[in-house]
Amino acid sequence: DGGITQSPKYLFRKEGQNVTLSCEQNLNHDAMYWYRQDPGQGLRLIYYSQIVNDFQKGDIAEGYSVSREKKESFPLTVTSAQKNPTAFYLCASSSLAGSGNTIYFGEGSWLTVV
């Protein structure tokens, strides 16, 4: 099956811990993204990457880190510096060929701080 796989689907984190969310895609897409969704706030862009070994901060990058060592993979680390990490995290990807390319989402990861 082609698509975007996120894991884990549910994750509980203790305060002060770093956690890493996995995102893998087999769509051969160049660009990958991480969004965060909170109730009533819509999706907010955390980080994005257009090419291997390169990534840029989005609107709310503080407290997060990413890497893009392979085209297929774009893991997100939620660090202890992120003060309010409980949210629904969505990984996405898109082609960059042409313009107006659709962004497709993985099934998401629910992170809860306990």
Partner 1 sequence: RKEVEQDPGPFNVPEGATVAFNCTYSNSASQSFFWYRQDCRKEPKLLMSVYSSGNEDGRFTAQLNRASQYISLLIRDSKLSDSATYLCAVNRPGGGNKLTFGTGTQLKVEL
Selected binder of partner 1 within 24, 34, 108, 111 (CB under 8 A) = 108
In the complex, minimum distance from the CB of residue 2 to partner 1, in angstroms, rounded to a whole number:
15
Among 11, 22, 27, 31, indicate the residue that binds partner 1 (CB under 8 A): 31
SS3 per-residue string spanning the chain: CCCEEEECCEEEECCCCCEEEEEEECCCCCEEEEEEEECCCEEEEEEEEEECCEEEECCCCCCEEECCCECCECCEEECCCCCCCCEEEEEEEECCCCCCCCCEECCCEEEEEC
Nearest residue (CB) to partner 1, 58 versus 63: 58
11 binds partner 1 (CB under 8 A): no
Of 15 and 99, CB closest to partner 1? 99
34-73 footprint of partner 1 as x/- string (CB under 8 A): -x----xxxx-x--x-x-----x-x---------------
Q: Which is nearer to partner 1, 25 or 94 (CB)?
A: 94
76 contributes a contact to partner 1 by CB under 8 A: no
Cα–Cα nearest to 79, from 40, 111, 44, 54: 111
